[in-house]
Amino acid sequence: PEQQRFAAHEEFLDRRENVVSARTYFYDDEAKCDENMNIFLQCVDAVSGSTKSTGFVAIKLTALGRPQFLLQLSELLVITRKLFEKFAGEGDILLKKFRQEEFQKTLDVMGVPISRDQTKRWFSILDISQDGEVDLWDWDNLLEENLQLCKLLIVPNKETGIPEQMMEGLTEEEDEQLKNMLKRLNTIVEYAKEKDVRVMVDAEQTYFQPAISRIVIEMMRKFNKEKAIVFNTYQTYLKSSLTNLKVDLDLSRRENFQFGAKLVRGAYMEQERERAASVGYEDPINADYHATTDMYHACLEEVFYQIKQRPLGQIAVMVASHNEDTVRFAVEGMDRHDIKKSDRLICFGQLLGMCDQISFPLGQAGYSVYKYVPYGPVEEVLPYLSRRAMENKGILKKVQKEKSLLWKELKRRVKAGQLRYNPLENSTVG
């Protein structure tokens, strides 16, 4: 059932179904992907020219190539991770490890015909750190260092049952298309770094996300040497979000690159739940809204803790939330952990036109604040904005609150004779 998550299912081919707050890209051809890349490059220029090297652009990987490749890579990554867990046993994934004897024992249980000499040779290849134990870092690093490992993973064909190599089956044209997708992302990030603009790669559906996260981590390895240029996105409505965040933070510490993250609640809940129930794998979404809030706050606490364990500036995080309680939790957490506003390690983001009662006070108080600005033709942007307005069932209450606050501020200015008062004075926005 878990593998079925990464298969294409006809009833869910339209990924716009039940998705109200995210743009969905479909593959037409390579020319369309090049066009999308050029639009992202124009956005980099727009941000660079207006924010003086402090701004962000947000991009989606499914706009840059055939989504099917992300499905295949995600399946490979999940299977290899589960294979590691089979060897290493239960427990905290960051603490899991196994020795050669355990490796041999598990292979015997699995019925893998392999001699002790072969086991010793394979274990020495897996044990990159050469400390007599294989941990998650060794395991994942092997996949990074030698992508030919993909060809060593033999799995039964789902239809015939005949064993075959996991990643076989790409035609020469598909292989070229996969390389083009990665080249386009590399081009965007290289250009953004040249313009001193940061790139947030949006999260997408869970069946794409393992591949997206791995590719983004590769971009971090390459470009986040001196500054966090590339940011990954973590959807905290997922049960796995804290574990994934911890694993990526640990990797950045081990390999000494700067870590960038955007924390959001998530945009695909109804679709994810319907697909999981229909296909037959475990629902990846937290049980309810409160569980998601707890996960968001747990991720923030992990970030705060890690920031204090490392040299200043190694971690940068955007708290992308319209939820006042979460924003308050983040501000109070910065105080608890003595993370200064002037450090610019934690920033806040809200959609343009929403929750200004959160954005402006934060900016006036000296926090780094961003307003997310959708960009594009009017006929495409307006439906997106209307969907964003519909996504939160409590939006009308927020609108009423904003109207009340605006009316209160207007009366205050009339009484104080400050009709021309500028709320941006002495604030830090961006």
- Whether residue 45 is found in the same domain as residue 84: no
| pTM, 2 dp | 0.82
18-28 pLDDT, tens per residue?
665 567 777 78
- Whether residue 96 is found in the same domain as residue 187: no
Question: How many Cβ atoms sit within 10 Å of the Cβ of residue 157?
Answer: 11
- Whether residue 409 is found in the same domain as residue 355: yes
Asked which of 39-43, 80-84, 269-273 is least confident by mean pLDDT, the reply is: 80-84
- Whether residue 258 is found in the same domain as residue 131: no
**Above 60 in pLDDT, residue 154?**
no
Quick one: tokens of 80?
Answer: 């290899």
122-147 pLDDT, tens per residue?
888 888 888 899 988 888 776 554 44
Share of the chain above pLDDT 70, in %: 80
**Above 60 in pLDDT, residue 151?**
no
Q: Which of 119, 140, 165 is the endpoint of a domain? A: 165
Question: How many Cβ atoms sit within 10 Å of the Cβ of residue 238?
Answer: 23
105: left (phi over 0), alpha (psi -120 to 50) or beta: alpha
What Rg do the C-alpha atoms of the chain give, in angstroms? 23
- Whether residue 259 is found in the same domain as residue 311: yes
Cβ-contact 239, 284 below 8 angstroms: yes
**Above 70 in pLDDT, residue 394?**
no
Question: How many Cα atoms within 13 Å fall on the side-chain side of residue 357?
Answer: 15
> Tell me, what's the pLDDT at 190?
96
Q: Which of 165, 195, 227 is the endpoint of a domain? A: 165
68-94 pLDDT, tens per residue?
888 888 888 888 888 888 888 888 888
Q: Is residue 423 part of a domain?
A: no
Q: Is residue 427 part of a domain?
A: no
- Whether residue 258 is found in the same domain as residue 324: yes
Asked which of 83-97, 215-229, 309-323 is least confident by mean pLDDT, the reply is: 83-97
Average pLDDT estimate for 13-18: 64
- Whether residue 231 is found in the same domain as residue 267: yes
> Tell me, what's the pLDDT at 235?
96
- Whether residue 198 is found in the same domain as residue 89: no
**Above 80 in pLDDT, residue 9?**
no
Average pLDDT estimate for 113-120: 84
- Whether residue 175 is found in the same domain as residue 301: yes
Report CA 103 to chain centroid distance, whole Å. 32
Total domain count, the chain: 2
Kindly give, in sequence order, each residue whose CB lies less than 8 Å from that of residue 430, ignoring residues fewer than 6 positions away: 51, 54, 55, 368, 369, 370
CATH assignment at residue 196: 3.20.20.220
201 forms beta bridges with 59, 232
CA-based max dimension of the chain: 87
The Cα–Cα gap between 74 and 140 comes to 14
> Tell me, what's the pLDDT at 146?
44
Expressed as residue numbers, the domain containing 268 is: 2-14+21-65+171-416
- Whether residue 184 is found in the same domain as residue 300: yes
**The residue to which tokens 């069946």 are assigned:** 207
Average pLDDT estimate for 350-358: 83
> Tell me, what's the pLDDT at 297?
97
**Closest by CA position to 263, among listed 309, 215, 295, 226:** 295
> Tell me, what's the pLDDT at 426?
46
Q: Is residue 424 part of a domain?
A: no
CATH assignment at residue 153: 1.10.238.10
- Whether residue 316 is found in the same domain as residue 395: yes
> Tell me, what's the pLDDT at 399?
58
Q: Is residue 428 part of a domain?
A: no
Host H or E run for residue 386? helix 378-391
The Cα–Cα gap between 247 and 93 comes to 8
354 vs 252 pLDDT, higher one: 252
Q: Which of 114, 137, 165 is the endpoint of a domain? A: 165
**Above 70 in pLDDT, residue 304?**
yes
Q: Is residue 33 part of a domain?
A: yes
- Whether residue 322 is found in the same domain as residue 411: yes
